[in-house]
Amino acid sequence: MEMHKFEKLFVNSAFCSFFHRTLIFPSFFRFINKALAGKALEIGCGIGKTTKLLAEKYSKLMITAIDYDKEQIERAGKNNNLNNVKFQYGDATKLKFKNSSFEYAIETNTFHHIKNYSKAIKEVYRMLKKNGIFYVMDISKYCFIWPFRIFFPPESYFTKKELIQNLENNGFRVEKSKGNLLFYVAARKI
Protein backbone atom coordinates (compact mmCIF):
# COMPACT_ATOMS: atom_id res chain seq x y z
CA MET A 1 0.00 0.00 0.00
CA GLU A 2 1.22 3.49 -0.75
CA MET A 3 1.17 5.93 2.14
CA HIS A 4 -1.35 8.77 2.04
CA LYS A 5 -0.10 12.36 1.65
CA PHE A 6 0.12 13.31 5.34
CA GLU A 7 1.97 10.14 6.27
CA LYS A 8 4.37 10.53 3.34
CA LEU A 9 5.01 14.16 4.31
CA PHE A 10 5.84 13.09 7.88
CA VAL A 11 8.00 10.09 6.92
CA ASN A 12 9.98 12.21 4.44
CA SER A 13 10.41 15.12 6.87
CA ALA A 14 13.64 16.42 8.38
CA PHE A 15 12.19 15.62 11.83
CA CYS A 16 11.70 11.96 10.94
CA SER A 17 15.22 11.81 9.46
CA PHE A 18 16.68 13.30 12.63
CA PHE A 19 14.66 10.87 14.78
CA HIS A 20 15.88 7.86 12.77
CA ARG A 21 19.51 9.02 12.70
CA THR A 22 19.78 9.90 16.41
CA LEU A 23 17.45 7.44 18.17
CA ILE A 24 15.94 4.64 16.13
CA PHE A 25 18.81 3.41 13.97
CA PRO A 26 21.55 3.57 16.61
CA SER A 27 19.36 1.25 18.69
CA PHE A 28 18.68 -0.97 15.67
CA PHE A 29 22.42 -1.17 14.90
CA ARG A 30 23.14 -2.15 18.52
CA PHE A 31 20.50 -4.85 18.16
CA ILE A 32 22.15 -6.20 14.97
CA ASN A 33 25.51 -6.00 16.78
CA LYS A 34 27.73 -7.28 13.97
CA ALA A 35 29.31 -6.18 10.72
CA LEU A 36 27.20 -7.02 7.68
CA ALA A 37 28.82 -7.78 4.31
CA GLY A 38 27.44 -9.39 1.19
CA LYS A 39 24.09 -8.76 -0.50
CA ALA A 40 21.03 -7.37 1.28
CA LEU A 41 17.48 -6.49 0.34
CA GLU A 42 15.87 -3.53 2.09
CA ILE A 43 12.09 -3.70 1.99
CA GLY A 44 10.27 -0.36 2.13
CA CYS A 45 13.12 2.06 1.53
CA GLY A 46 10.95 5.11 0.84
CA ILE A 47 13.08 7.99 -0.45
CA GLY A 48 16.24 6.25 0.72
CA LYS A 49 16.87 7.88 4.10
CA THR A 50 16.99 4.56 5.95
CA THR A 51 18.96 3.06 3.08
CA LYS A 52 21.59 5.76 3.46
CA LEU A 53 21.95 4.97 7.17
CA LEU A 54 22.37 1.26 6.37
CA ALA A 55 24.84 1.95 3.53
CA GLU A 56 26.96 4.26 5.72
CA LYS A 57 27.06 1.80 8.60
CA TYR A 58 27.70 -1.29 6.44
CA SER A 59 29.93 -0.13 3.59
CA LYS A 60 30.69 -3.75 2.54
CA LEU A 61 26.98 -4.51 2.11
CA MET A 62 25.54 -4.28 -1.41
CA ILE A 63 21.96 -3.14 -0.84
CA THR A 64 19.04 -3.53 -3.22
CA ALA A 65 16.41 -1.17 -1.82
CA ILE A 66 12.80 -1.56 -2.92
CA ASP A 67 9.56 0.29 -2.31
CA TYR A 68 6.01 -0.14 -3.59
CA ASP A 69 5.56 3.60 -4.11
CA LYS A 70 7.05 4.54 -7.50
CA GLU A 71 7.23 8.23 -6.55
CA GLN A 72 9.31 7.40 -3.47
CA ILE A 73 11.68 5.20 -5.51
CA GLU A 74 12.09 7.93 -8.10
CA ARG A 75 13.04 10.41 -5.36
CA ALA A 76 15.40 7.89 -3.76
CA GLY A 77 17.27 7.43 -7.01
CA LYS A 78 17.61 11.19 -7.57
CA ASN A 79 18.59 12.11 -4.01
CA ASN A 80 21.21 9.47 -3.31
CA ASN A 81 24.55 8.73 -4.89
CA LEU A 82 25.49 5.72 -2.81
CA ASN A 83 28.00 3.34 -4.40
CA ASN A 84 26.69 0.26 -2.58
CA VAL A 85 22.96 0.81 -3.23
CA LYS A 86 20.56 0.13 -6.08
CA PHE A 87 17.00 1.45 -5.81
CA GLN A 88 14.11 -0.18 -7.62
CA TYR A 89 10.36 -0.52 -7.56
CA GLY A 90 9.20 -3.70 -5.85
CA ASP A 91 6.22 -5.37 -4.24
CA ALA A 92 7.28 -7.25 -1.10
CA THR A 93 4.54 -9.83 -1.71
CA LYS A 94 5.86 -10.58 -5.24
CA LEU A 95 9.63 -10.17 -5.20
CA LYS A 96 11.29 -10.32 -8.61
CA PHE A 97 14.47 -12.00 -7.37
CA LYS A 98 15.71 -15.53 -7.85
CA ASN A 99 15.58 -17.97 -4.97
CA SER A 100 18.50 -17.62 -2.55
CA SER A 101 19.67 -14.23 -3.90
CA PHE A 102 20.57 -12.43 -0.65
CA GLU A 103 22.41 -13.05 2.62
CA TYR A 104 20.27 -10.48 4.44
CA ALA A 105 16.84 -8.89 4.29
CA ILE A 106 16.00 -5.76 6.27
CA GLU A 107 12.49 -4.45 6.89
CA THR A 108 12.13 -1.12 8.68
CA ASN A 109 8.58 -0.12 9.61
CA THR A 110 7.05 -1.50 6.43
CA PHE A 111 5.05 -4.64 7.22
CA HIS A 112 2.26 -2.68 8.90
CA HIS A 113 1.75 -1.10 5.44
CA ILE A 114 1.25 -4.50 3.77
CA LYS A 115 -2.19 -6.06 4.02
CA ASN A 116 -0.88 -9.60 3.49
CA TYR A 117 2.47 -9.25 5.24
CA SER A 118 2.55 -13.03 5.72
CA LYS A 119 2.97 -13.36 1.95
CA ALA A 120 5.89 -10.91 2.15
CA ILE A 121 7.49 -13.08 4.84
CA LYS A 122 7.21 -16.11 2.52
CA GLU A 123 8.86 -14.12 -0.27
CA VAL A 124 11.71 -13.03 2.00
CA TYR A 125 12.24 -16.64 3.03
CA ARG A 126 12.34 -17.72 -0.62
CA MET A 127 14.92 -15.19 -1.74
CA LEU A 128 17.23 -15.48 1.30
CA LYS A 129 20.15 -17.90 1.09
CA LYS A 130 20.28 -20.76 3.58
CA ASN A 131 21.29 -19.33 6.97
CA GLY A 132 20.43 -15.85 5.70
CA ILE A 133 19.19 -13.43 8.32
CA PHE A 134 16.06 -11.31 8.24
CA TYR A 135 16.26 -8.17 10.39
CA VAL A 136 12.87 -6.67 11.20
CA MET A 137 12.01 -3.34 12.81
CA ASP A 138 8.31 -2.60 13.07
CA ILE A 139 5.56 -1.09 15.19
CA SER A 140 3.16 -3.03 17.40
CA LYS A 141 -0.57 -2.81 16.86
CA TYR A 142 -0.76 -1.17 20.31
CA CYS A 143 0.76 2.01 18.81
CA PHE A 144 -2.14 2.44 16.40
CA ILE A 145 -4.58 3.95 18.86
CA TRP A 146 -7.00 6.71 18.00
CA PRO A 147 -6.15 9.41 16.78
CA PHE A 148 -2.73 8.08 15.68
CA ARG A 149 -4.29 5.54 13.32
CA ILE A 150 -6.23 8.32 11.55
CA PHE A 151 -3.00 9.99 10.46
CA PHE A 152 -0.98 6.78 10.09
CA PRO A 153 -3.46 4.08 9.05
CA PRO A 154 -1.91 0.60 8.98
CA GLU A 155 -2.91 -2.15 6.58
CA SER A 156 -1.95 -4.82 9.15
CA TYR A 157 -2.07 -4.93 12.93
CA PHE A 158 0.26 -7.26 14.84
CA THR A 159 2.33 -7.51 17.99
CA LYS A 160 5.94 -8.63 18.19
CA LYS A 161 4.73 -12.01 19.45
CA GLU A 162 2.33 -12.39 16.50
CA LEU A 163 5.05 -11.42 14.00
CA ILE A 164 7.47 -13.90 15.57
CA GLN A 165 4.84 -16.64 15.30
CA ASN A 166 4.32 -15.76 11.65
CA LEU A 167 8.08 -15.89 10.98
CA GLU A 168 8.36 -19.28 12.68
CA ASN A 169 5.31 -20.62 10.81
CA ASN A 170 7.11 -19.71 7.59
CA GLY A 171 10.33 -21.57 8.37
CA PHE A 172 12.42 -18.95 10.15
CA ARG A 173 14.18 -19.53 13.46
CA VAL A 174 13.98 -16.40 15.58
CA GLU A 175 17.38 -15.80 17.16
CA LYS A 176 16.60 -12.71 19.18
CA SER A 177 14.10 -9.92 19.64
CA LYS A 178 13.85 -6.69 21.59
CA GLY A 179 11.22 -4.08 22.41
CA ASN A 180 7.44 -4.08 22.46
CA LEU A 181 5.89 -1.00 20.84
CA LEU A 182 8.78 -0.43 18.44
CA PHE A 183 10.42 -3.82 18.21
CA TYR A 184 13.31 -5.61 16.54
CA VAL A 185 13.55 -9.25 15.48
CA ALA A 186 16.42 -11.24 13.96
CA ALA A 187 15.30 -14.44 12.23
CA ARG A 188 17.44 -16.98 10.37
CA LYS A 189 16.40 -19.04 7.36
CA ILE A 190 17.00 -22.66 8.31
Going residue by residue through the chain, which has 190 residues, state the pLDDT in tens, using 9 for 90 and above. Answer: 667 777 888 888 898 999 999 999 999 999 999 999 999 999 999 999 999 999 999 999 999 999 999 999 999 998 788 899 999 999 999 999 999 999 999 999 999 999 999 999 999 999 999 999 999 999 999 998 888 778 888 899 899 999 999 999 999 999 999 999 999 999 999 9
| Closest residue by Cα to residue 50 from 81, 12, 83 | 12
Q: Tell me the average pLDDT of the chain.
A: 94
CA pair distance 172, 63, nearest whole angstrom: 21
| Closest residue by Cα to residue 170 from 113, 128, 141, 108 | 128
Give domain limits for the chain: 5-189
Q: Which CATH superfamily is domain 5-189 in?
A: Vaccinia Virus protein VP39 (3.40.50.150)
Burial class (CB in 10 A: 0-12, 13-18, 19+), 154: buried
pLDDT, tens digit, 9 for 90 and up, residues 85-132: 999 999 999 999 999 999 999 999 999 999 999 999 999 999 999 999
CA pair distance 40, 64, nearest whole angstrom: 6
Indicate the pTM of the whole model: 0.94
Decide: helix, strand or coil at residue 182.
strand
